[in-house]
Structure 1
Amino acid sequence: MPNGALALLRSLGGEMTPALRKIARYVQENPEKLLYQTVVEVAEASGSSEASVIRFCRDLGFSGFQEFKLALASDLAASPVGLGPQDNPRTPQEALEYVTHHAKQALEDTSRLVDMKLVNMAVDLILRAQRIDIYGVGASGITAQDFAYKFMRLGYTTQAYPDPHMAAMAAATLDKKALAIGITRSGTTIDTVKALEVAKRSGSATLAITQRTRSPVARFADVVLVTSVAESPLTGGSVTAKMGQLLVLDLLYTLVALRRKQAADFIARTAAAVADRNY
């Protein structure tokens, strides 16, 4: 991967076509903002096309948009965790206050973004499902496993698939009695998008949990639930990003538990099954 995204950009200046110069100008004026955007959002904001954005990145020597963003994030990083200088905690207490503040902010922002009409639609999909498959990779894969654990306790046949090949194969076996859930903060994670696409083609109901309603994963979702908190390539997997996902998870779990017949019985039986595992 080339180093110095901004330096490379400045060095190419006059050699670019007018279309690519528009993108270059946008990047130079909005480098921090670009870190949290998709290729579609950059294309729209710069008045260009997605193809032009990809070509722009490749002309700079990068394999694509994500590699360019990673190099740009490295250019802008002011600390090992990718925080801006105004946010860089200097003591353990400041670090605790920083993390606590952003965790609270993630919960508050997500709660404001929650559309209860869509939440109720998602609950209806879960209540009708006889099988629930959940897709997510990386940090979102951990959230997917938490989803599977929660809904197993309510008596559902459910499994998380952090492995993309297993996810695709499982998705191909679904039918209209199943529900497929795709979890991807950016909405652009290829493996999760592809798994949800296969599930939809198989006839399954589909639900996406993401930060962006206008994203590839949303195209294959019957219902899209939005969470808050943007991440740069250097801060992926942060606790604050998971907070929004986990808030939506607990909300869905609580509403399903209130409406699902025998939910209390399933919770009691699953608790009893592992009661002897404690001293």
Structure 2
Amino acid sequence: MAGIDDPTPRSPGGTVLLRVRAALPLLGPSERRVAQVILDRPEAVTEWSTAELATIAGTSAATVVRACQNLGFRGFQHLRLEVARAAPCERTPTLDAHPLARVFDDAADAISLSRASVDLAGIDAAVEVLALARRLVLVGTGFSAPPLQDAAMRFATLGRPVEAPSDVLGQQFAARSLTSVDACLTVSYSGANAHTLRACRAAKEGGARVIAVTSFPRSPLTQLADICLVTGPVTRTHDVDPFLSRLSHLLVLHTLHTALQARPGSTATGPMREVVAEALIDET
């Protein structure tokens, strides 16, 4: 749109809302209502779906998407991520503190928020599905991939039949082979990753149950998944890497592993520890 040159905010600290406010005169009446709602209720926007924002703005979902695109975003999901990153942290950071102190303090705050956000009943339901699954396929890309690879190794120590292809096409191939006795476990910060959604839809079409670990309660992924474990959009101090959310996702995955390990009849990890021991080299 004319007058908006930079399609992506360079810094999260308030730039997003400033851009929305500056663009108001350039928008049509319906799109202006969408932008005004975003300005009036930025904290709530991160919890809404496209349809919910459209209802509150008194317009259509298509108008919401068009308004976001005219503001320079790819769509509502992109705008929502940037608004979440622009939101002030619950704790006022001590800028002169050592980076170690800031990082650990931010992590502690993020973990506390996520601990209060994750539904315990959802954890129990996910563990039940994982315990009964004949096969388990893990899907996720980008910054969500490392927690999944870690989880795949942990599930393997329990003797679980788990696959975690790193290639996005490999994930879709594996997901398409799942059936009603299998499960698909996915991690996505935004809940709107196109590759992840394709793999999850393929798993659902085959009858598999889909378990999602994500940060936003309203997203295309939470609408698709059978079980949603939502940690909250806790990443607000980094422009690109959603590290704090990734940390929370990792802890949720570790919780699933721990709960599976505690179930009666779970495979003993003794033989797996021997694998680790054999990988060590004695000093000479």
TM bucket (normalised to shorter chain) is 0.7 to 0.9
Moved more, 162-171 or 43-52: 43-52
Cα distance in structure 2, aligned partners of 1:246 and 1:10? 37
Match of 1:247 in 2: 251
Structure 2 segments unaligned to the other structure (5+ residues): 10-15
Report whether the alignment pairs 1:278 with 2:251: no
Q: Do the aligned residues in 1 keep the contact of 2:156 with 2:162 (CA within 8 Å)?
A: yes
Correspondence list, 1:202-217, <5 A: 202-217=206-221
Q: Kindly provide the CA deviation profile for residues 104-156 of structure 1, in whole angstroms up to 9, marking residues without a partner as x.
A: 12222222223222221111111111211011111111111111011001001
Report whether the alignment pairs 1:96 with 2:100: yes
Aligned residue for 1:133, secondary structure, equals strand
Correspondence list, 1:115-194, <5 A: 115-194=119-198
Cα distance, 1:2–1:40 mapped onto 2, change above 3 Å: farther
Give the RMSD, CA atoms, in angstroms: 3.2
Q: Do the aligned residues in 1 keep the contact of 2:139 with 2:187 (CA within 8 Å)?
A: yes
Shift of 1:67: 5.9
| Equivalenced residues, count | 269
Q: Do the aligned residues in 1 keep the contact of 2:137 with 2:163 (CA within 8 Å)?
A: yes
Match of 1:25 in 2: 36
Q: Kindly provide the CA deviation profile for residues 147-174 of structure 1, in whole angstroms up to 9, marking residues without a partner as x.
A: 1011001001212234321111111111
TM-score of the superposition, structure 1-length normalised? 0.80
Aligned residue for 1:126, secondary structure, equals helix
In structure 2, what residue type is equivalent to 1:101?
D
Report whether the alignment pairs 1:55 with 2:66: yes
Report whether the alignment pairs 1:2 with 2:13: no
Aligned residue for 2:5, secondary structure, equals coil
TM-score of the superposition, structure 2-length normalised? 0.79
In structure 2, what residue type is equivalent to 1:229?
P
Structure 1 segments unaligned to the other structure (5+ residues): 77-81
The answer to which structure has the higher helix fraction is 1
